[in-house]
Structure 1
Amino acid sequence: MSTPPATDPTAVPSWTVGDVTVHRIDEVLLPPATGPWLLPGATPGLVTAQDWLHPHFADDRGVLHIDSHSFAFTLGGLRVLVDTGIGNGKERANPAWHDLDTGFLEDLTAAGYSPDSVDLVILTHLHADHVGWNTRDVNGEWVPTFPNARYLTSRTEREFWAGYDMDEARAQMFRDSVIPVERAGLLDLVDVPAEGVEAAPGLRLLPTPGHTPGHVAVELTSRGRTALITGDCIHHPVQLAHPAIGACVDIDPQQAETSRRTLLGSLADTDTLVLGTHFAPPTAGRVVTHQDAYRLSPAPADSR
């Protein structure tokens, strides 16, 4: 079933970071079964013990709320999209991702980012629910959705998957959502050192490996204000309270936990706005110390 497109720009949630407006481009709310599969350590009792997770991030039974969305913003004249979701019409093993028909591109356009206008697409990592809208079906062929953009990802990330013995489902994802972008000459690979790297003025890629070897978080700064887009270093706010909880698909669970703890420690009790790539609304907030770990203090979207 199609999701009605957003025709009113005020319907697109956004946050202000200095002079930058960050828009959340919604794709789909993932089904309740996603939580137990993705984060098996987040048991209902553990989740319900964190009162602050209810009602936004989990229900009163401890069922996690998990979204798929992207973020779009303009920084220094550069029109940026971070991650591209699941995509429409893609053949996927996960039934929640298979053959979607959503209004993602209409919502992106309603936010002021028509596909032809996007300058830069940053891919935090190369998983199916982060690269799907890299391409779209035109007359039976997968072609780049953002033909005037550079697509950016970590060199470590692409080289890892190039040498990985993929199952058919993952190979299909690369065939329809990554390789067409490469063939078009639009994919740029970036070396990301331990201290991070500047992708553009005010825009940095921070290494957060573990979920995948080349995973990056995205930091943007404007007029002294900072925001950080998590990617899958943090899937859900419950991981603030329990950083040891990992995802079932983490390539290196121990490294993923180390990256998560390092990142959370750097964010705690600062003014940095954290934007969770899979966080259900209100999606954004600030990390504050809580008990022996952290919690998220929500920052609701602006009413524009």
Structure 2
Amino acid sequence: MTTTTTSPAPTLTFGDVTVTRAVESVGSIGMTPDQFFPGTDPAAWEGHEEMLRPHFLEDDGDSTMRSTSRVAMQTWVLRSGSRTILVDAGVGNDKDRPDVPGWSHLRTGFLDGLAAVGVRPEDVDVVVNTHLHADHVGWNTSLVDGTWVPTFPNAQYLMPVEDLAFWDPAAGSRTIMGPGAHTVWADSILPVIAAGQVTSWSGAHRIDDALTLEAAPGHTPGASILRLRSGADEVLFVGDTLHSPAQVVDVHTSSCFDEDTVTAHATRDRLFGEAADKGLLMFPAHFAGPSGFRVERRGDGFAVRDWAPLTAI
């Protein structure tokens, strides 16, 4: 792995693949740890202030000075061979999100952030939606003259079969996300299906010689990770497998957005075990700070070993 900082955002190089990120937003999610991670073991938070602050916990500034969870909305930008691949697509602009008012009718400079790392919408070859939650598919589409159209007109959008089946309103799935998920389907998923730009996959899907998608269910039925293998390097982009380093301390700490907590626990335990044994960097979707990290085994569980050499956000 090598690091360069000649572009506006630091770039990591793994074999023949470069990785940088475009940040949509970073800040408090407006939830205390016990709200974001209901039933969490207090030991996963107590005694870990140095690890969690300032990038993963912050005070909300009101009279109670509650600690709230801090997250980043960001897209990993990979250049592999001659192609540009985006891993996840943020919240998006102009979207109506009545269940999450903080995500409604945003006007962010995300596309300017992509431009800052040398990516125009027409340059994107592949968009990976690791799963189909609102904060991973928002920039799939943009509002043009009152119509939702694909933001990346030349891209293949990769979506898990299981999530397409689960989130399709016609399926009538019962979900913890509520009826707002139907709005997400209408404005961020259906338009790219209608444009013929979606490729669905299940189990595993090879993007190219260096990049492979793999099922990692629990957070959603079709939740996935992206494995990068190039030269002597191997790293994992783990999506929403976890949202806080506290989940490394206790893999049984699940976010309130996990559809199947038992499966989510098993997925985290499996991925952490492999990452610890191989010394793999992992890049979650929503970690602020330097974002990428390695784990090590400690007793019957795991601990954060070190962080990727990325500028903290």
TM-score by length of 2: 0.87
Amino acid at match of 2:187: D
Query: What does residue 298 of structure 1 align with?
Result: 307
> 3-state DSSP class of the match of 1:109?
helix
Do 2:221 and 2:259's aligned partners in 1 also have CA atoms closer than 8 Å? yes
Q: Which amino acid aligns with 1:245?
A: T
Q: Is the 8 A contact 1:205 1:217 kept in 2?
A: yes
- Find out whether 1:28 has 2:4 as its counterpart: no
Residue of structure 1 aligned with 2:142, choices 118, 124, 136: 136
List gaps (5 residues or longer) in structure 2. Answer: 60-65
Q: Give the alignment partner of residue 66 of structure 1, picking from 42, 48, 71.
A: 71
Preserved CA contact (<8 Å) 2:289 2:311 = no
- CA distance in 1: counterparts of 2:240 and 2:278, whole angstroms: 21
Q: Which moved more, 1:175-184 or 1:267-276?
A: 267-276
1:171 counterpart = 2:182: yes
- In the TM superposition, structure 1's runs of 4+ consecutive aligned residues that sit over 6 Å from their partners are none
Establish whether residue 219 from structure 1 lines up as the match of residue 244 from structure 2: no
Distance in 1 of aligned mates of 2:119 and 2:142: 16
Determine the structure 1 residue equivalent to 2:46: 48
Partner of 2:87: 82
Aligned partner of 1:17 in structure 2 is: 14
SS in 1 for 2:21: strand
5+ long unaligned stretches in structure 1: 1-7
Query: Which residue type is aligned with residue 206 of structure 2?
Result: E
SS in 2 for 1:124: coil
Query: Taking structure 1 as the reference length, what is the TM-score of the superposition?
Result: 0.89
1:211-250 equivalences under 5 Å are: 211-250=219-258
Q: Against the structure 1 CA distance between its residues 261 and 204, is the aligned structure 2 distance closer, same or farther, given a 3 Å change threshold?
A: same
Aligned to 2:269: 261
**Structure 2 residue 194 is matched with structure 1 residue 183:** yes
Matching residue's letter, 2:127 = V
Give the Å deviation of 1:16: 2.1
Cα deviation for residue 230 of structure 1 reads 1.0
- Worse-matched range after superposition: 182-191 or 280-289: 280-289
Q: Call closer, same or farther: CA 1:169–1:40 in 2, change over 3 Å.
A: same
CA spacing shift, 1:31–1:46, aligned 2, 3 Å: same
Aligned to 1:153, the other structure's residue is in SS state strand
Is contact 2:41–2:253 with CA below 8 Å preserved after alignment? no
Q: Secondary structure of 2:163's match?
A: helix
SS in structure 2 opposite 1:64? strand
Say if 1:64 and 1:168 are closer, same or farther in 2 by CA, change over 3 A. closer
Rounded to whole Å, the distance in 2 between the matches of 1:238 and 1:168 is: 30
Q: Distance in 1 between matches of 2:25 and 2:223?
A: 23
The two structures, once aligned, show a CA RMSD in angstroms of: 2.2
For 2:282, the equivalent position in structure 1 comes to: 274
Q: CA deviation at 1:42?
A: 4.5
> Which amino acid in structure 2 is aligned with residue 99 of structure 1?
H
For the 8 Å contact 1:47–1:62, the answer to whether it is kept is: no
CA contact under 8 A between 1:83 and 1:123: conserved in structure 2?
yes
Amino acid at match of 2:248: L
Selected match of 2:157 from 145, 151, 156: 151
* Alpha-carbon contact 2:28-2:68 (below 8 Å) kept: no
In structure 2, relative to structure 1, the CA distance for the partners of 1:295 and 1:160 (3 Å cut) is same
Does structure 2 conserve the Cα–Cα contact (< 8 Å) formed by 1:31 and 1:96? no
Cα deviation, 1:33-75, whole Å, max 9, x if unaligned, reads 2353332344776413224333433358754321111101111
1:161-216 deviation digits (Å, cap 9, x = unpaired)? 23234754111111110000000000110121xxx332221111121101111111
Which deviates further from its counterpart, 183-192 or 9-18?
A: 9-18
1:74-119 deviation line (CA, Å, top 9, x unaligned): 1122210011000011111212211111111111111111110000
- 2:106 equivalent among 100, 107, 111: 100
Alpha-carbon distance change, 291 to 100 in structure 1, aligned in 2, over 3 angstroms: farther
SS in 1 for 2:70: coil
How many residues align structurally? 293
Superposed CA deviations along residues 232-285 of structure 1, whole A, max 9, x for unmatched, are 111221111110011112111111111111111111143322111110111011
Give the distance between the partners of 1:165 and 1:197, measured in 2 at CA: 25
